Amino acid sequence: MKKINNILLILACLFLAACSGTRHLPVGEKLYVGAKIKLESTEEINKRSIQKTAEDVVRPQPNKSYFGMRPKLWLYNATRGNSHSMLQKWMRKNGTAPVLLSHVKPGATSAIIDASLFNMGFFNSYTTSEIIEKEHTAKVIYTSHVHSPYTIKELIYEISDDSISALIMAEKEHSLIKIGANYQLDVLKNERSRIDEILKNKGYFYFNPDYLLFKADTSVTERTVSFHLTLKDSIPQNALNVYRINKVTINQNYSLNERVGHNSANSFMVDDFEFVGNEARMRVKPKVITRSVYLRKGEIFSRLKYTTTLNRLMSIGYFKLVQINFSESTDSTAGLLDAIILLTPMTKYSFRTEIDMISKSNNFAGPRLNVSIANRNAFKGAELLKLNLAGTYEAQLGRSQNNLYTYSYNPQAELTFPNFLVPFKLKKMNSIYLPKTHFLLSYNFLKKVSYFDMRTFEFIYGYRWKEDVRKEHELNPIDISYSSIRNKSTVFTELLESNPFLKKSYEEQFVAGGNYSFTYNEQMLQGKKVHMFFQVKSELAGNALALATRIGGNTITTENPAMVAGSVFSQFGKLSIDGRVFLNHKNRNKTAMRLFAGVGLPFGNSSVLPYSKQFFSGGPSSIRAFQINSIGPGNYFQDTNKQGFLQLGGDVKLEMNAEYRFNIFSYFKGAVFVDAGNVWLLESNPSLIGTPFSLSDFANQLAVGSGFGLRIDISFFVLRFDLAIPLRKPWMDENSRWVTDQIDFGSSTWRKDNLLLNVAIGYPF
């Protein structure tokens, strides 16, 4: 046995040596394994910020190492110049060549570090380097000798042009340069861009940030700098002129192969805009385009209006490319700009087919087919008409009810207008994003074989608009759905009779109300270390119908509810909040955290929320250690073997998720995660199912699960595998809910009952 252990130890050492990448180094070379930054200072400094700045400019980067192993370097060395087979070519392509000590230039890197520190206000710092060599490897230690940074003593404006000076002084209080702050070159650059933005919006079309000059004086006080902001002497005259819009020409059928110019004889006027082409042959009505154009004849040029025009024309959804070109007017009056707007249309129709597999954590699996046709200009107003037909088939595998399956089909029509459709006049929005009005009409047939058939009609009328890149609103003043259940089986009827709460949920199937949601999302902003996401949704239903019933002289009670079209209409209010934080680490890894809280309150005509409006917990995008929608309410245990797909929901939901996402190799990503949460009924709900929500006791009823995941992330597509186990089961006895002591990966029975694999598309949050 001892001999075997020795052999295994030798093999392990050989494997580690091979993966370390030092076996095939050229003669006399050493593998460069990285650099270390040291700071030397006798004064108080922000060492963390300085060190990060120095580390960011150190070159070259060493071969990536994992626990002392360098798998990409090993892949490269394994071919040793022979890359004829497909496997060898793949290894060579995905490997990385060794970074050698001879590639490192410590003197040049030290100079770059000093230049970076100079830009932070460390004008007299200097960096030395030392190479530390071992048998096969070498690293470099850079030591930066720094002092306290220079601070800004004053900013004096000496702008020679009175008009420009007045505009800059009017916005002086918004200056990015603060007295007493540390000198930062990036701040000076950003301040020049800020001033340039102000001037561009005031008609200075030809102005450029480079025409602004900061003259620095460091001789006044020790380690302080005084700035004098001036205009360069070489500034051209046209940069000092204010320009106005003269003529605006629009070509909505522009092809990239044609010349920008046009024949003015073949054009027509709409308001003050000249359209190229024949008016009768316009693909999109001119008025639809002009309401998104903010460049108006006679107005001072504004870059903000230019950007707004560009974005709103793209947001119409019919043009794949929008260009706006400017030229000085040939009219005798100086200071005029002609603008030509070139719009390249998309194809009017598009056809799309999707086929995929559904796999749920409750062992339902099957194919899904989705076919859609889109018309991007349905009524010559850039309206988007989508006709969609989806169908699914799901069967439950590995269960005693092996004949349990469902199928559905769902035709749907959606019409979107590129503006607000309201019965009154609205003030024109200055957002760069185009507001939209949408109508949705859908029908869904769902057959739960051996249980029931359900038919659902839905109609939605609403609006979507964005304030800016982060803030988005959606308001649906009309959201109506009607469901009818037919062909109830004996099994289904018995299940409903044994569970009054579930029976009541399925009875109330007419929902007429409206909803609103607000989303704040920073994830598209580049360069931020912390990204925030916040979404609030609210919904109110049944109040208009209840009012009409009362006006008709009828009294509404939960014991004797009013009906519409033969169904009890639902009356409720619902509110949910979804908050997320994403911490971006320098190695492109990420920590993601989410908190979801929601509450729904049935009242008036309803004692229970409709089944489709209840909160559920458990599943691939929820608490992944438990089957889909199987947790709660409260400490209630849902026997999915007995209930099948008829899971119970709740009036209250609280859920918390945290996951660390890391890179493994190429498109392969990994994650470790922990989830916790549950759903509850309100104390006012008469259903005796689980313990109701209580502020003093809800934490004792949380389900907790944990696990790890593998993701194949190809930017536009993410295939996710999450393997999870329960750590806490809220339905167990109060002192036995933590089940970590029962974990036994060697037991097939334990694995069958507790190990859950979730397969899904996209990230969970």
Q: What is the pLDDT of residue 395?
A: 80
Which pair of structure tokens corresponds to residue 90? 């793949």
Question: What is the per-residue pLDDT across 403-448, written as a single tens digit (0 to 9) for each?
Answer: 678 889 999 999 999 999 887 777 766 678 899 999 999 999 999 8
218: number of CA atoms within 13 Å, CB side?
10
C-alpha distances in Å from residue 546, one per residue of 551, 603, 622: 9, 11, 35
Q: For residue range 107-157, what is the model confidence (pLDDT) as tens digits?
A: 999 999 999 999 999 999 999 999 999 988 999 999 999 999 999 999 999
Lowest mean pLDDT among 180-189, 399-408, 601-610: 399-408
Pairing mode, if any, of strands 244-251 and 336-345? Answer: parallel
Which range, 579-583, 718-722, 751-755, 760-764, has the best average confidence (pLDDT)?
Answer: 579-583
pLDDT, residue 699, reads: 92
DSSP 300: B
Does domain 244-345 sit in CATH 3.10.20.310? yes
Q: Return d(Cα 510, Cα 630) in angstroms, integer.
A: 25
Per-residue pLDDT at 17 exceeds 60: no
Residue in the structure block whose two tokens are 């004792």: 700
Confidence of residue 258 (pLDDT cuts 50, 70, 90): confident
Q: Enumerate the domain spans of the chain.
A: 2-145, 151-240, 244-345
pLDDT at position 83 is 57
The position carrying tokens 């119409």 is 316
Taking residue 560's Cβ as centre, other Cβ atoms within 10 Å add up to 9
- Looking only at the bridges linking them, the beta strands covering 137-145 and 151-157 are unpaired
pLDDT of residue 4: 46
Burial of 279 (0-12, 13-18, 19+ CB in 10 A): exposed
505, 611, 612, 614, 728 from 647: Cα distances, Å: 11, 10, 11, 11, 20
Do the Cβ atoms of 76 and 91 come closer than 8 Å?
Answer: yes
CA distance 386 to 575: 30
Q: How far apart are CA 692 and CA 684, in angstroms?
A: 9
Segments of 146-272 assigned E as strands = 151-157, 212-217, 224-231, 244-251, 267-270
Q: Pick from 170, 204, 164, 212: which is nearest to 188 by CA? A: 212
pLDDT in tens, 460-473: 999 999 988 899 99
Selected residue with higher pLDDT from 648 and 187: 187
Two structure tokens written together for 89: 């070519």
Which of 522, 513, 420, 424 lies closest to 465, judged by CA? 420
Mean pLDDT is lowest, of 363-367, 425-429, 599-603, for 425-429
Q: Are 26 and 100 in contact (CB under 8 A)?
A: yes
In degrees and rounded to multiples of 5, residue 99 shows phi and psi of -95, 115
Task: Give the separation between CA 366 and CA 356, rounded to whole angstroms.
Answer: 9
| 367 contacts 401 by C-beta, under 8 angstroms | no
Specify the pLDDT at position 644: 58
Q: Give pLDDT tens digits for 299-333.
A: 999 999 999 999 999 999 999 999 999 999 887 66
Among residues 325, 331, 323, 371, the alpha carbon closest in space to that of 351 is found at 371
In this predicted structure, what is the pLDDT of residue 2? 47
Tens of pLDDT, residues 727-754: 999 999 988 999 999 999 989 999 988 9
Which structure tokens are listed for 315?
């947001």
151-240 and 244-345 agree in CATH topology: yes
Task: Return the top range by mean pLDDT from 42-46, 216-220, 685-689, 727-731.
Answer: 727-731
> Has residue 396 got a pLDDT over 70?
no
pLDDT for 28: 85
Instruction: Give the pair of three-digit tokens for residue 383.
Output: 């309206």
Percent of the chain with pLDDT over 90: 60
Determine phi and psi for 700, rounding to 5 degrees. -80, -5
**Quick check: helix, strand or coil at residue 229?**
strand
Is the model more confident about 68 or about 251? Answer: 251
Q: Element (H or E) spanning 350, and its range?
A: strand 349-359
710 pLDDT higher than 90: yes
Output the six-digit token pair for 668.
């392969």
Burial class of 411 by CB neighbour count within 10 A (0 to 12, 13 to 18, 19+): middle
Consecutive H or E run containing 91 = helix 86-94
Instruction: Note the pTM of the prediction, 2 decimals.
Output: 0.81
DSSP reduced 3-state for 376: coil
Task: Please name every residue paired with 318 in a beta bridge, in sequence order, or none if there are none.
Answer: none
Report the residue count for the chain.
765
- What pLDDT, on the 0 to 100 scale, is given for residue 499? 78
- Distance, CA of 89 to CA of 79 (rounded, Å): 8
CA gap 132, 143 in Å, rounded: 13
Q: What is the pLDDT of residues 193-246, one digit of tens each?
A: 999 999 999 999 999 999 999 999 988 788 899 999 999 999 999 999 999 999
Predicted confidence (pLDDT) at residue 542 exceeds the cutoff of 70: yes
For residue 225, give every residue at least 6 positions away whose Cβ sits within 8 Å of its Cβ, in sequence order, or none.
121, 150, 151, 152, 153, 183, 216, 217, 218
- 577 CA to centre of own chain: 17
CA 255 to chain CA centroid, nearest Å: 33
DSSP bridge pairs for 598: 576, 653
Q: What is the mean pLDDT of residues 61-79?
A: 81
Q: Which residues pair with 300 in a beta bridge?
A: 244
List C-alpha distances in Å: 356 to 235, 442, 454, 710, 712: 61, 22, 24, 20, 16
Rounded distance, CA 317 to CA 346, Å? 9
| pLDDT band at 96; cut points 50, 70, 90 | confident
Q: What angle do CA 612, 616, 617 make, to 5 degrees?
A: 160
Tokens linked to 6? 């020795």
DSSP conformation letters of 97-165: ---BGGG--HHHHHHHHHHHHHTTT-TT-EEEEEEEE-SSEEEEEEEEE--PPPEEEEEEE--SSHHHH
Comparing CA positions, the residue from 702, 706, 651 lying closest to residue 678 is: 702
pLDDT value for 3: 46
Report the mean per-residue pLDDT for the chain.
Answer: 88
Nearest to 75 by CA among 25, 30, 34, 21: 21
**Which two tokens mark 223?**
């380690």
Query: pLDDT tier at 90 (50, 70, 90 boundaries)?
Result: confident
- Choice between 327 and 358, residue whose per-residue pLDDT is larger: 327
Instruction: Inform me whether the pLDDT recorded for 666 exceeds 70.
Output: yes
**pLDDT (0 to 100) of residue 16:** 47
For the chain, the distance separating the N- and C-terminal CA atoms, rounded to the nearest angstrom, is 50
- Beta strands 405-417; 31-40: pairing state: unpaired
pLDDT of 263: 54
CB 673 within 8 A of CB 722: yes
Task: For the beta carbon of residue 404, count every other beta carbon within 10 angstroms.
Answer: 19
CATH of domain 151-240: 3.10.20
What gap in Å lies between CA 300 and CA 283, rounded to an integer? Answer: 30
3-state secondary structure 646-697: CCCCECEEEEEEEEEEEEEECCEEEEEEEEEEEEECCCCCCCCCCCCCCCCC
| CA 119 to each of CA 43, 75, 115: distance values in angstroms, whole numbers, following the listed order | 19, 40, 6
Q: How many CB atoms lie within 10 A of CB 628?
A: 24
The whole-number pLDDT of residue 533 equals 97
Averaged pLDDT, 613-638: 91
Q: How many CB atoms lie within 10 A of CB 512?
A: 19
